Amino acid sequence: MILEATKAGADAAMEKEFNPWLAAEARFNEAATLLGLDDGLRKVLKTPAMEVTVHIPVQLDDGRLEVFTGYRVQHSIARGPAKGGIRFAPDVTLDEVRALSSWMTWKCAVVNIPFGGGKGGVICDPSVLSQGELERITRRYTADLMDIIGPERDVPAPDMNTNEQTMAWIMDTYSMHKRTTVTAVVTGKPLNLGGSRGRVEATGRGCLFVTLQALRKFHMEPTETKVVVQGFGNVGGKAAILMHKAGMKIISVIEWDGALYNPNGIDPIALQKHRQETGSILEFPGAEEVDKHEAMFLECDVLVPAAKENVIHSKNAAKLNAKIVCEGANGPTTAEADKILEEKGIFVIPDILANAGGVTVSYFEWVQDRMGYFWNEQLVNGRLEEIMVNSFKDVVEYGERHKVHNRAAAYMLALDRVAFAIKLRGIYA
């Protein structure tokens, strides 16, 4: 009985540690306390501005009617329209969407672009749905949110299991209701419908830019830098290729179906081609297969967790052998693990800075749509680099000035900027 009670207590503690809303709240509270924010302002900053739940009736291909549940949370509109992706997944929860929307608020504030934070999700399993069923879900979800989204209110984007086709459906549905083509209602669209060049690689490229800044800070040469990448999707895959092109050695790639290791470096371009041909990173001739649960703890200079949340936690953080952690994913490190990484002296580039390249180029897309003039990729990448480099310097200097670790510094800087906007605007009553 005692063992069962102990196990139940440990399970409850881990469940609490992994709760995204509680994790976001813990980071918020730490930053708010360090800033000395009063209780009233804390409440305003912490509380989502709007939460909407919709129930989406859809006729499936076989004639059955099914009802799907969708959410849209606008955490803040103090600095501009809400901005954030829409994910389709069977395990979407309102807590998760709340947390992600707050992270978007802080992320936009860290890189100082004029957006607030939003997020959306639909509880469904895209792997068992046809393209037609996904389109019907997307269009009805969009129609149900017509009153709260728009170029000057809330601008969605792709997220987990959604893509540029999903955004095209949203843009078309919104435009049909408005009786005019409104390209700026979403970002992450196809180029032919008002998308931006450089958007697909933007998050991975942003990871490259801040990693290069961290290497410069520690006087490390890219050509002597060993990198472990967890997740070989849009973020991790693009980051690995760009880091490889910058001269870094990608010594390990970790995916859901296994992990690869080569101390002399893996060619991520060849690996990407191999996976496109075989459907897996395994049996790649350029590396040996290793335990996917242990590869993250290989000795390296840079670890890029770019898969999912909570992969670095209180039970495994002490095993990390990286000098720098560049968080390509949202929330890959729990609040409890932050303390362990700080004690180990690991330099963390927090998610709200490291993966902000995506939302930054989304901002560029929104600007281009609104002005009706589109930039070439060189201009997009140059402006992205400028923002990511300046934001990295802002966070590091803020942390050194206030004697706090980078995540606390990023949150403090973000909260400070949003709080300043609220104070300037005042409270409407």
Q: What is the pLDDT of residues 142-156, one digit of tens each?
A: 999 999 999 999 999
Report the alpha-carbon distance of residue 33 to residue 25 in Å, rounded.
Answer: 12
Annotated active-site positions, please? 119
Query: Which pLDDT band, with edges at 50, 70 and 90, does 23 fall under?
Result: confident
Q: Is 70 exceeded by the pLDDT of residue 10?
A: no
Report the alpha-carbon distance of residue 104 to residue 101 in Å, rounded.
Answer: 5
Task: Record the tokens describing residue 285, joined without a space.
Answer: 């001739």
How does strand 249-255 pair with strand 258-261?
antiparallel
Q: Which amino acid is at 66?
A: E
Q: Is 90 exceeded by the pLDDT of residue 15?
A: no
Say what the pLDDT of residue 174 is.
98
Crossing angle of helices 94-110 and 377-402, rounded to 10°: 90
Rounded-to-10 torsion of CA 103, 107, 112, 113: -80
> For 368-392, what is the mean pLDDT?
98
Q: What is the homologous superfamily of the domain 202-354 according to CATH?
A: NAD(P)-binding Rossmann-like Domain (3.40.50.720)
Q: How many CB atoms lie within 10 A of CB 94?
A: 15
Task: Record the tokens describing residue 105, joined without a space.
Answer: 């608020």
Q: Give the H/E segment covering residue 351.
A: helix 351-354
Under the phi-then-psi rule, with left for phi > 0, alpha for psi from -120 to 50, and beta for the rest, what region is 353? alpha
Tell me the β-bridge partners of 259. Answer: 254, 290
Say what the pLDDT of residue 11 is.
66
Task: Record the tokens describing residue 233, joined without a space.
Answer: 């999707």
Exposure pattern of 256-282 as b/e (b: 16+ CB <10 Å)?
A: eebbbbbeebbbbeebbebbeeeeebe
pLDDT tens digits for range 278-290: 999 999 999 999 9
What global pTM score does this model have?
Answer: 0.93
Q: Is 90 exceeded by the pLDDT of residue 356?
A: yes
Report the alpha-carbon distance of residue 105 to residue 84 in Å, rounded.
Answer: 9
> For 342-365, what is the mean pLDDT?
97
Tell me the β-bridge partners of 127. Answer: none
Say what the pLDDT of residue 242 is.
98
pLDDT tens digits for range 172-201: 999 999 999 999 999 999 999 999 999 999
Is the Cβ–Cβ distance between 83 and 362 less than 8 Å? Answer: yes
Is the Cβ–Cβ distance between 320 and 312 less than 8 Å? Answer: yes
The residues of the chain that CATH labels 3.40.50.10860 are 46-193
Q: What are phi and psi of 158, to 5 degrees?
A: -70, 155
Nearest to 307 by CA among 371, 234, 246, 370: 234
pLDDT tens digits for range 246-272: 999 999 999 999 999 999 999 999 999
> For 219-246, what is the mean pLDDT?
97
Q: Is 90 exceeded by the pLDDT of residue 334?
A: yes
Q: Is 60 exceeded by the pLDDT of residue 6?
A: no
Q: What is the mean pLDDT of the chain?
A: 95
Report the alpha-carbon distance of residue 4 to residue 7 in Å, rounded.
Answer: 5
Report the alpha-carbon distance of residue 80 to residue 77 in Å, rounded.
Answer: 5
How many CA atoms lie less than 13 Å away from 318 in the CB half-sphere? 2
pLDDT tens digits for range 35-90: 999 999 999 999 999 999 999 999 999 999 999 999 999 999 999 999 999 999 99
The residues of the chain that CATH labels 3.40.50.720 are 202-354
Say what the pLDDT of residue 300 is.
98
Is the Cβ–Cβ distance between 132 and 58 less than 8 Å? Answer: no
| DSSP designation for 116 | E
Say what the pLDDT of residue 2 is.
60
Report the alpha-carbon distance of residue 110 to residue 131 in Å, rounded.
Answer: 37
Q: What percent of the chain has pLDDT over 70?
A: 97
CATH topology of domain 46-193: Rossmann fold (3.40.50)
Say what the pLDDT of residue 309 is.
84
Say what the pLDDT of residue 359 is.
97
Q: Which amino acid is at 370?
A: R
Q: Which amino acid is at 324?
A: I
